[in-house]
Amino acid sequence: MNFKRVPNHIGVIPDGNRRWAESRGISRERGYENGIGPGFELYKACLDLGIKEMTFYGFTQDNTKRPPSQTRAFQKACIDAVKILSDKDASLLVVGNTDSPLFPSELLSYTKRTNFGSGKMKVNFLVNYSWWWDINKAYSMGTAPGNPRDYFLTNIASGEISRIDLVIRWGGRRRLSGFLPVQTVYSDFYIIDELWPDYKPDHLYDALRWYETQDITLGG
């Protein structure tokens, strides 16, 4: 695959795991385990293309209001996904509210960026994340002398995650659902109607072919 211009940073909203399970007549919890393989395939395809950074929307504090069996299932899927990458070429970072028992203790060590292999690609996971928790970290710290914008941007909880060029969402819904509101103010959105466990490399390539045709204005 050859593209004349690829995004630096892709945001991934892997939606549709429960609908996928239901459509197969298996329990909704089983959807999440079928989302791990696609995540690894997508990571490999992006690594091959020289994408510099990816951020996966793992689960949110809103999501944990679902039945406990589902919450346990998506917690486990996030742990497994991070562990798979911790064996590969990636500079891993997990961002989420660790002050809650809903944050998996297995991932605590990844809340500081950790390099594996040649650490070529930054791979971020949002785990027990919430947009308000993210912003409130900077807000509750207050301002400081200097440029308030830079100070805010570095002190939000996701301050180590850069501006996102392209958000790809699986599962047909056309919304951000609280995904990194600060980093997505200028992002292009690409929606794939198929459900996340049905990931195919062509989904990524279709998104990138579309992205090539977009002009980047950053609001100008």
C-beta of 68 vs 220, nearer to its own copies:
220
C-beta of 25 vs 219, nearer to its own copies:
219
Is residue 156 within 8 Å of residue 165, measured between CB atoms? no
C-beta of 120 vs 163, nearer to its own copies:
163
Q: How many residues bind its own copies (CB under 8 A)?
A: 38
10 Å Cβ neighbour count for 24? Answer: 12
Tokens found for residue 151: 């100070």
Single residue of 178, 196, 197, 204 touching its own copies by CB under 8 A: 178
Single residue of 55, 60, 91, 158 touching its own copies by CB under 8 A: 60
Is residue 183 within 8 Å of residue 11, measured between CB atoms? yes
C-beta of 100 vs 136, nearer to its own copies:
136
Tokens found for residue 111: 């809340």
- Using CA atoms, how far residue 126 sits from 22, 69, 132, 141, 187, in Å, is 25, 20, 13, 21, 18
Q: What minimum distance in Å lies between the beta carbon of 7 and its own copies?
A: 12
Does position 63 interact with its own copies (CB under 8 A)? The reply is: yes
C-beta of 50 vs 67, nearer to its own copies:
67
Q: How far apart are CA 146 and CA 105, in angstroms?
A: 36
Single residue of 68, 101, 145, 219 touching its own copies by CB under 8 A: 219
Window 112-151: contact mask with its own copies (x via CB under 8 A): -------------------xx--xx-xxx-xx----xx--
Distance in Å from the first CA to the final CA of the chain: 31
Q: How far apart are CA 167 and CA 20, in angstroms?
A: 21
Q: What minimum distance in Å lies between the beta carbon of 148 and its own copies?
A: 6
